[in-house]
Amino acid sequence: SAVISQKPSRDICQRGTSLTIQCQVDSQVTMMFWYRQQPGQSLTLIATANQGSEATYESGFVIDKFPISRPNLTFSTLTVSNLSPEDSSIYLCSVGGGPEPGELFFGEGSRLTVL
Amino acid sequence: AQSVTQLGSHVSVSEGALVLLRCNYSSSVPPYLFWYVQYPNQGLQLLLKYTTGATLVKGINGFEAEFKKSETSFHLTKPSAHMSDAAEYFCAVSDPPNFGNEKLTFGTGTRLTIIP
């Protein structure tokens, strides 16, 4: 299993500003995943972050809006830039946990409210 | 493309009653199927999974789910609800390894409320 810590757990931001979310894992992992959980909607994968290479973004998500860093095998950050109220969501960090794809461990999430 | 449909965004059951949360999927290949649970203010955790083999799978906290290929379903059940089962439940699907798309696709979730 993996223990994932996210910071901040919640924040309220003004539109036009940026928020950086940190994700710390208690073990070394190859891939880290960032998800968005919008109110009343399913989780959507934003990007996959590999150490030492650029993140791979899913359709509808771009690096300018969601820059990701992955400086080592236990840490990653997601920045949500130029905030608008539509960015109000829970952002979740996750890592693979088991022998099969799809078995993920999740952090507790970072709840962002944009005013 | 894969998709997951969870019927009922909110389900309420009485304590001790049967819990049934519905999940239907679409996939071009026999999928891997998962149920995740999210307790208030916590991250998601894996409840159970189906990959291959026995179609009835058992998970934590007395939950189980049955993969029915003919119905493209993977409904989650528990014979007797407990107050601690109150949470949000997500069904998810991925392609098996080497079929090209191993990313998880989640349903919209079902919030389970237990009535004392």
State how far residue B75 is from chain A, nearest Cα, in angstroms: 17
Does residue B48 or residue B29 have the better pLDDT?
Answer: B48
Cβ A107–B43 below 8 Å, yes or no?
yes
* pLDDT band at B100; cut points 50, 70, 90: low
Note the pLDDT of residue B25: 94
Chain A residues within 8 A of B45 when measuring between CB atoms: 105-106
Rounded CA-CA distance B16/A40 in Å is: 27
Mean pLDDT, chain B, integer: 91
Which pLDDT band, with edges at 50, 70 and 90, does B85 fall under?
very high
Per-residue pLDDT of chain A (115 residues; tens, 9 = 90+): 788 999 999 999 999 999 999 999 999 988 899 999 988 788 999 999 988 788 999 999 999 999 999 999 999 999 999 999 999 999 999 998 777 777 888 999 999 999 9
Residue pair B5/B27 in contact (Cβ under 8 Å)? The answer is no
Work out the pLDDT band at B98, boundaries 50, 70, 90: low
A108 in B contact zone (CB under 8 Å): yes
